[in-house]
Amino acid sequence: MAAPVVEVQNVSKQYHRDKVEIRVLSNLSLSIPEGGFVALMGPSGSGKTTLLNLIAGIDRPDSGQVIVAGTAVHSLGESQLAKWRTRHIGFIFQFYNLLPVLTAYGNVELPLLLTKLSSKERREHVETALNLVGLGDRMKHYPRQLSGGQEQRVAIARAIVTDPTVIVADEPTGDLDKQSATEILDLLGRLNTEFGKTIVMVTHDPRAAERAKVVRHLDKGELN
Amino acid sequence: MRVFKLIYMNALRHKLRTSLTILGIAVAIMAFGLLRTVVAAWYLGVNQAAPDRLITRSKNGITFTLPVAQKQAIERIPGVADLTYSAWFGGFYKDPKDFFPQIAVEGVHGLSLYPEFIVDSAALDAFDKEPNAAIVGKTTMDRFGWKIGDAVRLTGQIYPGDWDFVVRGVYTGRSEATDLSQFLFNFKYIDQRMQVEMPARAGQVGWWVIKIDDPAKAAAISAAVDKEFENSSDATLTETEAAFQQSFVAMAGTIVFSLQVISFLVIGVILLVAANTMAMTARERISEYAVLKTLGFNGKHILGLIAGESLLIACLGGVLGMIFLIPVLHGVGVALKAWFPAFIIDPKTYPQAAATAVLVGILAAVFPSWRAIRVSIVNGLRRIG
Ligand SMILES: Nc1ncnc2c1ncn2[C@@H]1O[C@H](COP(=O)(O)OP(=O)(O)OP(=O)(O)O)[C@@H](O)[C@H]1O
Ligand SMILES: [Mg+2]
């Protein structure tokens, strides 16, 4: 058994809306080994996105610990956290979230602008990532010139271009037709098996969950 | 490089909105430059005043005249190097709305106290010999299309009736700021007719022009002149030419002050226009900023993107405004030539307008950037789906 890359320990999180307190996660623990592929399922509003955000270091728990890639994420300051995310986390969103003014190439290059790589090195990385997702011939296309499935593949290229430790995906196939969804899931599967990437994926789709090595169900703030 | 491209591409996303904002800023910068130039033109006349000339006018007010008989008494005062008089004619050529100053002077001697007016000797000769000869500034010549030798009939308002003149010369200026709008003629021409038609008003001049030998003694000489006449019915008020002109400017001072206030209000308006555009822009892109933040971009990067776009728009507007300013100032300058003899762009106007544009660009980005940076990633992302 490989060492855990993601360690969520006794984490609680609640939100306040007006005076009402919404308990989203209560005393939740989760451990994911290196090279793991976990699917998080559960009803809407059960806290799947919240948990994913905690792991990805874009939100903080009220109590408990989140240790990812050996770093206590919950204890980092804003700017350290930002640097840490660039290095360790690749994001994939339901609605792709590409910048419309940049080409596929420009979008994939974005996270590399924060590294010390030269433009020639960046070019190599971007081309490798886009070739890997099968869009080597679409580099100069803008998001509006791509299909949803292609946009999501560009987003995956953007997520892997920095060679992150963990890939987090929030309903990556939620907005796609069956065919495109299958392509995306195949791609994630390859990233996991061939490249050994650790993946945490939130999904509502049982067929998507089948691809994961482990499926966890969230309900009423607790994991089963 | 990449970042500049991103800023540039972002600015092009709403072409109409961006263009309208740039145009708005351009018009405002142009208005700012125009107002500044008008204000500067007001003061320019004052700054061009000769330091060695005093003006003596009636203490009773600007419209009161002084007797020509005061001449000997003034000449006797120590420090007075030369002396002449002038009178305001206050007439018009054809249309009373077409203002230009007409001044009756003491012949060639009167002109000699104004070395900034350049006149050729043939014109001076004619001015000396012909009672109704006139020497006219180039601006006014061009304005009415007069040529040397033309007969010009002015209608008097202060000196009633029609007055026929012959243009015998054109004067030009020693510097760009010299007033080239005046219509100069011999005082004797009107005085002789007044002796016949209105004897009570004959021998009355508008003001004395005193050339002094040492500008540093201006105050003492002024006081001596005024003391001379203090107990007569024609008490005088003597001041330097600059102070005299300033009293005219002071009359219009409230207007000038309003113009200055307006020029700063204009900046306020541009600021609101630019800030509004940037606020709308930043609001629409909250989720994009959140995505950038998830990738590891920080507040400084976001600030750079928003402020960069804001500066780009403001500077384009500024440059366009300054380009507009040149023909507009030219047009306005031609139209107002009689009022503002020297309507030239103050070279300071360009750096001022540029600084204004940069300042507006920065200030307009402050609030939108602050808000975009402050929104947490989670809340920013939730805006999408
Ligand atoms: N920033 C926030 N402010 C207030 N309430 C929030 C916030 N984020 C999440 N919540 C609330 O927390 C609960 C869990 O939200 P979360 O987005 O994690 O659910 P989810 O499991 O991802 O749901 P879905 O399947 O619909 O995406 C919901 O009731 C939501 O309204
Ligand atoms: Mg969710």
Nearest C-alpha neighbor of A32 from the set A54, A63, A1? A1
Considering only CA atoms, which of A160, A153, A156, A161 is closest in space to residue A112? A161
Mark A18-29 as b/e (b = at least 16 C-beta within 10 Å).
eeeeeebbbebe
Residue of A nearest to B380 (CA): A58
Residue A108 one-letter amino acid: V
**Helix H or strand E segment including B218:** helix B218-228
Q: Which residues of chain A have pLDDT under 50?
A: none
Nearest to B362 by CA among B291, B267, B296: B267
Our measurement of the distance from residue A103's CA atom to the centroid of its chain's CA atoms, rounded to an integer in Å, reads: 21
Contact (CB, 8 A) for A97 and B287: yes
How much is the ipTM here? 0.94
Segments of chain A assigned E as strands: 4-17, 20-33, 37-41, 63-68, 71-72, 89-92, 166-170, 198-202, 214-219, 222-223
- Per the model's pLDDT, the better-predicted residue between B139 and B335 turns out to be B139
Cα–Cα distance between B87 and B309 in angstroms, integer? 60
- Residue B308 pLDDT > 60: yes
**Of the listed ranges A208-212, B10-14, B381-385, the one predicted with least confidence:** B381-385
Q: Are residues B296 and A86, on separate chains, in Cβ contact within 8 Å?
A: yes
Query: What does the CA dihedral B97, B345, B274, A97 come to, rounded to 10 degrees?
Result: 140
Q: How far B385 CA sits from the closest chain A CA (Å)?
A: 8
Range of lowest pLDDT (A196-205, B28-37, B212-221, B332-341): B332-341
Pairing of strands A71-72, A63-68: antiparallel
- Closest to B312 measured CA to CA, from B365, B366, B367: B365
String of DSSP letters for B297-328: --HHHHHHHHHHHHHHHHHHHHHHHHHHHHHH
Cα of A44 from ligand 2 centre, angstroms: 7
pLDDT in tens, B148-158: 999 999 999 99
Full strand arrangement of the beta sheet holding A89-92:
A89-92, A166-170, A198-202, A37-41, A214-219, A222-223
Indicate if the pLDDT at residue B248 is higher than 70: no
The pairing of beta strand A198-202 with beta strand A37-41: parallel
B210 pLDDT exceeds 90?
yes
Q: Report the alpha-carbon distance of residue B21 to residue B317 in Å, rounded.
A: 8
Whole-number mean pLDDT of chain B? 89
Ligand 1 pocket member A203 (CB < 6 A): no
Q: Where are the domains of chain A?
A: 4-223
What tokens were used for A148?
A: 């949803």
Tokens 């650790």 appear where?
Answer: A198
pLDDT at residue A117 in the model: 93
Q: Could you give the 3-state DSSP secondary structure of residue B24?
A: helix
Q: Which of A58-72, B144-158, B247-261, B343-357 is predicted with the least confidence, judged by mean pLDDT?
A: B247-261
How far, in Å, are B117, B124, B180, B195 from residue B108 at the CA level?
A: 12, 7, 18, 22
Task: Test A95 with B291 for CB contact under 8 angstroms.
Answer: no
Decide if pLDDT at B330 tops 90.
no
CA atoms within 13 A on the CB side of B197: 10
Rg (CA), chain A: 17
CB-defined contacts A:B, below 8 A: 65
B331-347 average pLDDT score: 72
Q: How far apart are CA A112 and CA A157, in angstroms?
A: 12
SS percent in chain B: helix, strand, coil, step 5 = 60, 15, 25
Q: pLDDT tens digits for A162-204?
A: 999 999 999 999 989 999 999 999 999 999 999 999 999 999 9
Distance from CA of B10 to the nearest CA of A (A): 7
CA B173 to chain centre: 17
| B161 bridge partner residues | B156
DSSP state of B132: T
Confidence bin at B3 (pLDDT 50/70/90): confident
The stretch B348-374 carries a mean pLDDT of 91
Closest CA to B333 of B181, B220, B160, B188: B181
Handedness of CA A188, A194, A195, A196 (dihedral sign): positive
pLDDT digits (tens, 9 = 90+) for B48-98: 677 889 999 999 887 899 999 999 999 999 999 999 999 999 999 999 888
Q: Between chains, do B9 and A110 touch, taking CB under 8 Å as contact? A: no
Cβ < 5 A residues, ion ligand 2: A 49
Q: In terms of C-beta density within 10 A (0-12 exposed, 13-18 middle, 19 or more buried), how is residue B331 classed?
A: exposed
B145: left (phi over 0), alpha (psi -120 to 50) or beta: left
- Does A48 sit in the ligand 1 pocket, CB within 6 Å? yes
Q: Name chain A contacts of B378, Cβ cutoff 8 Å.
A: 53, 58-59
| Cβ atoms < 10 Å from Cβ of A65 | 15
Q: Would you state the pLDDT for residue A36?
A: 95
Q: Which residue has the higher pLDDT, B320 or B3?
A: B320
Alpha helices for A57-118 (secondary structure H): 78-88, 104-109
B3 to A113: CB separation less than 8 angstroms, yes or no = yes
Domain over A4-223 is classified CATH 3.40.50.300: yes
pLDDT for res B175: 82
